[in-house]
Chains A and B, each alone.
Chain A
Amino acid sequence: MKLPLWRRGQDRELDEEIESHLRLEIADRVARGEPQDEAARAARRRFGNVTVVKEVTRDMWGWVGFEQFAHDVRYALRALRKSPGFAIVAIATFALGIGVNTAMFSVINAVMLRPLPFPQPAQLVDVAELDLRPGQPRVPGSASWPNFFDWRTRATSFSGVSAYHDSAFTMLVGGRSVHTPGAVVSADFFTTLGVPPTLGRGFRADEERAGSDVVILSDSLWRSEFGAARSAIGSTLSLNGRPFTIIGVMPPAFRFPIRVPAPQLWVTVADDARALPGDEPMTTQRGAHYIGVVGRLRPAVTLAAARSELDAIAAALAREHPDDNGTRGVMLTPELDRLVGDTRRALVVLVGAVACVLLIACVNLANLLLARGAGRSREIALRLALGASRRRVVLQLLAESLVLAGAGTAAGLILASWCVRVLTTVAPTDVRGLDEVTIDSFVLAFTAAVGFLSALAFGSAPAWLGSQTSPRSAASDDGRTTAARGQGRLRAALVVAETGLGVVLLVAAGLLVRGFYLLVHTDPGYDTTHVVTAKFNLPEQRYSYLKQIAFYDDLFADLGARPGLQVTGVAPMPLSGSRYTLSFELAGAAVPQARRPSADFALVGPVFFRTMQIPIVAGRDFTAADSDSAPRVLAVNETFAQMFLQGHDPIGQRVKLSLSTTEKETPWREVVAVVRDFKQKALDEPSRPAFFVPYAQGLISPMFIVARTTDPPARVIEQLREAIGRRDPELALYDVRTLEEYVGRSVAAARFQMLLLALFAALALALTAVGLYGVIAYGVAQRTREFGIRLALGARPQEVMRLVLRGAMRMAGAGVAVGVVGAALLTRLLGAALYGVHPLDPVTFALVIVSLFGVALIAAFVPARRATRVDPMMALRAE
């Protein structure tokens, strides 16, 4: 017999023990006078077969438990085969519970737990600037290049600290213009992240200087545009009209900053170090906050230590540059936490929901097992009478739960892998990791653990109760009654608990659905229908600042003149997820620069407000006459007028924005319009002060074209393409979308969370209904004789039915009461996801209560009708 390693030593000891036994007996016999060889023979004969003794002794070493378990499992399998209906319902119920939990956990794993794909990912921290002005939320904000440069030279906590920001490139390859998302980074970017290029080299420090036009490509861009040719290194690529030298290619999996779509190329900060028309380069503008910063902590430097060092540096910078940095702080967050961001809360809610579903599934299983145990009490009593210990009986019943859980877990995994596939196709794509959800070994381990613990959870009470049968009842007939009564109470309590859980989930889902309904029906402040938008970049090489303005002027005039088409421009595009903010100064109020308030800001084209159908409360819309040579103007929204221009007629007030273009000094601008508030970044944002400037008086970013038309979008896009291509064939039109698509994208995450929660709530409701049905049906079966007697004594069928239904309603009522209290305590956790719905919204609560009672009635109706059909004679004879 081959023994496992850890048993071999023990086996040698046993050999030795037997050896010593024989020696002792031989010695005894010799002492009594027997000859040595005879004594040895006698001792051996007396001892018996050494091999057999060893074998039976070894059996005591612990295999016994395992063998008994194997036996129990075989027995359980046989028992389950005998009642396939029970087995299928139980396994399917458990598979549902485990399946949704596995799927959700694989999401959590991919989004929150799986480390970032960089070496020593725990060392990476996000370094952000904080706006310390009173009234501003303390949220991580973008940094400016000069501040970043100072952090980089002064801080000693980091082995590397690097900056990055998204940038769009128009790439000229093979005579085609292709829009390509990319990033502008500091030269040490790849070193800090710890990922070198697979081909070529990384950036050198001296390549941060203006004029060093080098680029590193993503693996996919290298494959798609350069055929994965090694000769691509060293060749020239035209980006935004300027030649760049390709110096490296990143590995296929490298993706940072994490964006959708993923950046395809990286250039150095040299791109931002170029002098701008009429302005300093971005790398010297301390007040221009638009970059992200990632640092790698030195080994043994804690986050807290790095925080205090950076705080000190930020304080020093505030003293040195009071105008720009007087109210700027710094904030360090582990990079993974920063990336998970707002997703955490939504995921926690969803995890709570699937945990509820699993609990409900477990309660149903416990109920099924209790009913089954009651039916088997005679069999168990017999086993007890035959000498089985209660412990053995409990273990055997638990083995059955484990078999059910095992089969359910296997089925649940199949369900989960299917769920994951569906999930990844419908999930919003802007959450890091959501496109990499897989059932890996960690998820499998989690599922196995949950499956096992659940089996103990739903199996232990039925197993224990099952073993409490008296052995004596094996012989008599009434064994079930006493045991059944205690079980009946437990079963009712379980159903109450599961109804309560179901109520909590339904209320949560109901609130989210209502919140989502409110969200998508929020008036954004403009008409979102029949609007097509698109974007293109004008290469600065060939388009000076004034030429860019002229290009837009000409384009808007041309397109706007076409029949059935209203055309204007805007930047940033409402609901595209970006927001510009700018500080300003009011005439007559001398405020130091660092304390100046700021407001949302957008560049807009002529007739923007009319085209978007944003009501103008006072004043006039912008026109083509608001040109670079015209007096400087701006429009403000109502919130701005209320907050900053109160008590005056807003029209004609003067405001100075930190936005200058062709002027020597930052100009004062005159308010020419007050417009109704509209949603800039998200539908659920509260009203914020905002102002709007004609693009010709401060063009600082490429404009989106906004076209309103009743024509089909495809035709409008064709016209746009043609109009742009005719002016410059090297321009690439991108981000071509309708405004309604932007609305859809901005609510995608909310829609996803709502749909998932609604799905889980529906599952919970179905399982609760099954649980209620099971308990009521079982109760009716138990009381067949009672109903028979009642009917025989002249009770009318309706009375019997009412009796059953009343019992069901009592259970449902208790469950609803528990659930309503639970929901009232828990719905607050949904927080911002509710979009203005009160966590105790009475309509939702009322609807849930009514629907639960409805479901309970339906679940109780079938067994109740069965109760009225009891044949009194049959019922009596059955005894």
Chain B
Amino acid sequence: MPGQRYQNRIELLQGTLDLLILQTLQWGPRHGYGISQAIAAVSADVLKVDTGSLYPALHRLERQKWIRAEWTTSERNQRTRVYELTRAGRAQLLHERSRWEQLSAAIGSVLAHSGEIPS
């Protein structure tokens, strides 16, 4: 069942993708396509966000009231669904960021360790 496969990938990515989405929205409201483009651009195309992960994540974050969605008409006169960070979302972003920093610092120090591992 394909759904099952996608779900597994969401779970793997979950924390990180949420962080990336919230971070991207920090600079202002964007639609789904815009978010994926921004992540790709900022990471110099290293992180390519799969739509099968992006949209479930967006709808989940919306349900958790960290982001808010609105239909607007774009400059090219197209109706798009635009997401915006909420106050709770801002708090969540700070929380996830500090967690990420802890984690990366920990991993970094493990990787930087060159000596013997005490047993």
A417 and B22 CA atoms in complex are apart in Å by 57
Which residues of chain B come closer than 8 Å to A28, judged between CB atoms?
37
| Partner among B37, B55, B78, B79 whose Cβ is within 8 Å of the Cβ of A57 | B55
B78 near A17 with CB under 8 A, answer no
A55 and B59 CA atoms in complex are apart in Å by 12
Which residues of chain A come closer than 8 Å to B55, judged between CB atoms?
14, 17-18, 53, 56-57
Given known pairs A52-B6, A53-B55, the reply for A60 and B33 (CB within 8 Å) is: no
| Partner among B7, B50, B78, B81 whose Cβ is within 8 Å of the Cβ of A48 | B50
**Min CB–CB distance A44 → chain B (angstroms):** 11
A24 and B51 CA atoms in complex are apart in Å by 14
A17 near B63 with CB under 8 A, answer no
B51 near A53 with CB under 8 A, answer yes
List CB contacts (< 8 Å) of A23-80 with chain B.
23-25, 27-28, 47-49, 52-53, 55-57, 59-62
With both beta carbons as reference points, the residue of chain B lying nearest to A13 in the complex is identified as: B81
Which residues of chain B come closer than 8 Å to A48, judged between CB atoms?
50-52
| Partner among A20, A21, A47, A60 whose Cβ is within 8 Å of the Cβ of B59 | A60
**Min CB–CB distance B31 → chain A (angstroms):** 7
A18 and B32 CA atoms in complex are apart in Å by 9
**Min CB–CB distance A35 → chain B (angstroms):** 19
| Partner among A20, A55, A61 whose Cβ is within 8 Å of the Cβ of B80 | A20
**Min CB–CB distance A53 → chain B (angstroms):** 5
The secondary structure that dominates the B interface is helix
A56 near B31 with CB under 8 A, answer no
Interface membership of A540, Cβ < 8 A: no
Which residues of chain A come closer than 8 Å to B51, judged between CB atoms?
21, 47-48, 53
Interface membership of A320, Cβ < 8 A: no
**Most chain B C-beta atoms within 10 Å of own C-beta, residue among A20, A56, A57:** A56
List CB contacts (< 8 Å) of B37-82 with chain A.
37, 50-52, 55-56, 59-60, 63, 71, 74, 76, 78-81
Interface membership of A16, Cβ < 8 A: yes
| Partner among B7, B32, B74, B80 whose Cβ is within 8 Å of the Cβ of A56 | B7
The secondary structure that dominates the A interface is helix
Given known pairs A61-B59, A61-B63, the reply for A20 and B6 (CB within 8 Å) is: no
A52 near B3 with CB under 8 A, answer yes
Interface membership of B2, Cβ < 8 A: yes
List CB contacts (< 8 Å) of B7-50 with chain A.
7, 10, 31-34, 37, 50
With both beta carbons as reference points, the residue of chain A lying nearest to B79 in the complex is identified as: A20
Which residues of chain B come closer than 8 Å to A27, judged between CB atoms?
76
What band does the interface of chain A fall in when counting residues whose beta carbon is under 8 Å from B?
20 to 34
A14 and B55 CA atoms in complex are apart in Å by 9
Which residues of chain B come closer than 8 Å to A13, judged between CB atoms?
71, 81
**Min CB–CB distance A68 → chain B (angstroms):** 13
A20 near B33 with CB under 8 A, answer yes
Which residues of chain B come closer than 8 Å to A17, judged between CB atoms?
32, 55, 80-81
A23 near B78 with CB under 8 A, answer yes
B56 near A57 with CB under 8 A, answer yes
Which residues of chain A come closer than 8 Å to B33, judged between CB atoms?
20-21, 24-25
B31 near A24 with CB under 8 A, answer yes
Given known pairs A17-B81, A24-B78, the reply for A52 and B31 (CB within 8 Å) is: no
A56 near B52 with CB under 8 A, answer yes
**Most chain A C-beta atoms within 10 Å of own C-beta, residue among B3, B6, B31, B33:** B33
Which residues of chain A come closer than 8 Å to B32, judged between CB atoms?
17, 21
**Min CB–CB distance B106 → chain A (angstroms):** 17
Which residues of chain B come closer than 8 Å to A20, judged between CB atoms?
31, 33, 78-81
A49 and B50 CA atoms in complex are apart in Å by 11
A13 and B50 CA atoms in complex are apart in Å by 20
**Min CB–CB distance A241 → chain B (angstroms):** 83
A59 near B81 with CB under 8 A, answer no
A24 and B62 CA atoms in complex are apart in Å by 22
Which residues of chain B come closer than 8 Å to A47, judged between CB atoms?
51
| Partner among A21, A24, A25, A56 whose Cβ is within 8 Å of the Cβ of B6 | A56
Which residues of chain B come closer than 8 Å to A16, judged between CB atoms?
79, 81
Which residues of chain B come closer than 8 Å to A57, judged between CB atoms?
55-56, 59
Residues of chain B at the chain A interface (Cβ within 8 Å): 2-3, 6-7, 10, 31-34, 37, 50-52, 55-56, 59-60, 63, 71, 74, 76, 78-81
Residues of chain A at the chain B interface (Cβ within 8 Å): 13-14, 16-18, 20-21, 23-25, 27-28, 47-49, 52-53, 55-57, 59-62
For this complex, 16 residue pairs linking A to B, each with C-beta atoms less than 8 Å apart, are A17-B32, A17-B80, A20-B81, A21-B31, A21-B33, A27-B76, A47-B51, A48-B50, A49-B52, A52-B52, A53-B51, A56-B3, A56-B7, A59-B56, A60-B59, A60-B63
Query: Given A24-B78, A53-B51, A53-B55, 6 other A-B contacts at CB below 8 A?
Result: A16-B79, A20-B79, A24-B80, A56-B6, A56-B10, A60-B59
Nearest first, the 6 A-B pairs at minimum CB distance are A60-B59, A24-B33, A57-B55, A60-B60, A17-B81, A21-B33
